[in-house]
Structure 1
Amino acid sequence: MRPGETDAIEIHQLRRVFERRVGWRAPRVTREALTGIDLRVRAGTTFGIVGRNGAGKTTTVKILSTLLLPTSGSVRVAGHDVVREAKRVRALLGVVLGGDRGFYQRLTGRENLRFFGSLVGVSGRRLHDRVAALTEQLDLTFLDERVEACSRGMKQRLHLARALLHEPPILILDEPSLGLDPVAAAQMRALVHSLVPRHTVLLTTHDLFEAERLCDEIAVMRRGAVAAAGTPEELAVQADLRHRVSAVVDGGSPAEVTDRVRSVLDVTSIEASDAGDGRVRLTLTHRGAGTGVQDTTAALVALGLRVEEIRVIPPDLEATFFALVGA
């Protein structure tokens, strides 16, 4: 954590074990959904949780939202324990589980917001003002239509409005763009982005592009544990991914440049192509992590090559994800 920053969410050694019986005379079968995870979410940031189905994302969200009790460990939201201070925690959270459920289908969006606002202590003039403000902020032009007539994208925005009614400092979004068409998904991502830093946002998603686009930090979960956590760049380092450097040089043919570069640089692969006007475009895959720009530039210049441009091609989140959790 950086100096002066505080944690909005602190998770320490969180475990959750589920028990069930296959038959009424059969012994109980246990399944450990969370194996003792540790996470910290900085206030005023967007934190993403990604992982395969069954990795523990939804279980984590349910415990954070006070919908499920932990087996052991601790979870604190803005310093408040989710078990001992559940009522206080609920007041600090806005939770978006999304989907077609969660509203009275035959009521209008406005009627639903009035009802759910009353449940979280927002009424009268304040409720009127909040609905008006959210209508403008989230473009809720359909508020006077019955929910049953709304599209999936409209319902997702209505879910977000419901979560924001009481102006909570922390939002939990469970797969906010699930089932949305590309346009609606882009609109939802823009809305989520606009909420930070006024709100802290924790979201789960299967959309790695969405996670990389929105999140300051990301936790990759695997079989109930956190495989790695950090910025996308830090995740790539933890995954020990090889990085690539792209350069355009002048000083020989693609074959000649390849032979000369391979003799001095420790690379796993070299791709060379004609860039026109006697230039060669190189893509070098280095071993290990790090940028390699300075060392690569120095090596190319030492070979008598004129470097016209050079840049790092960082691993994307998809490559990092598969390196951490497997195909």
Structure 2
Amino acid sequence: MSLERFSSSLERAFEEQVFGEHPAELYEPIHYILSLGGKRIRPLLTLLSANLFTKSWETAIEPAMSVEVFHNFTLMHDDIMDQAPLRRGKPTVHHKWDTNRAILSGDVMLVEAYELLSKLEASLLKKAILRFNKVAAEVCEGQQLDMLFAEREEVSKEEYLEMIRLKTSVLVGYSMELGGIVAGASPDACELLYEVGENLGLGFQMTDDILDVYADPKLFGKQVGGDILENKKTWLLLRAMEKSGEDRVRTLLSIEDPDQKILAVRTLFDELNIKAEATSIAEAYFDKAMLGLQALVCPFEVEKEALNTLFLQIRSRQK
């Protein structure tokens, strides 16, 4: 079955979903942030994973939507914490309306995520909820670490990788695991699905960090070099500090002109071969994800093709 069929079914479900009507001021931001699109990677992974174990993959649509609603809830609140003006090229919720409204609408999104997940049949619900609770807490832990790292002078590459594992990868892992849970897959299969997704998520985030420095601005959809301007301690920056010394990197980060600052740091990365090293790590995570998927025993092996297609899209993305 083609990837497009899953994507269109998912988009149709979001278009038809009514999260609430009164007061409109509470629910309008929810529909707004979900209408901004995005890649919908997480819910697609849920549907595609369920499709490996059942032909009734449509039963996974509402659980898949719950993951996407939760993900966008975290984005809405992250944007407040980061004071970000734009999300996917459009005004963030707290900029379009105000901070209080963004906080409250985000809170309701978390409730709506649970509501969608609760549509699961009773025999599967407890496991799905318990795993969701653990992952949701880990996402918050990752965000807290991200904020702490912004204040700390020293952060190791290992700490950074653990932070992105929590903030980004565990939810990608759960998205795949949830598909297995919905389809009644064995505990071992669900565990492997989670591991595959976690590695995919790590590769995704490492690629995101690379694109932030090297992407084509016309394709990227946001300012290239944003992490550099924020002095964000990405793996690339931490590796540059290791290879050239912290003083040299901090001198470049102190440059006031934004364009000159981005150019200077990128030139240093090029000199130190940082992009190639980071790409190698991202590729290793993607390879682990692909190998894990190959090793997964499921009744509908042919349906792995759609997942492979999505994996390759994620691996080769330019934005």
Scaled by the length of structure 2, what TM-score is found?
A: 0.29
Which one has more relative contact order, counting CA pairs under 8 Å at least 6 apart? 2
Q: Which structure has more strand as a fraction of its residues?
A: 1
Scaled by the length of structure 1, what TM-score is found?
A: 0.28
Larger Rg: 1
Q: Which structure has more helix as a fraction of its residues?
A: 2
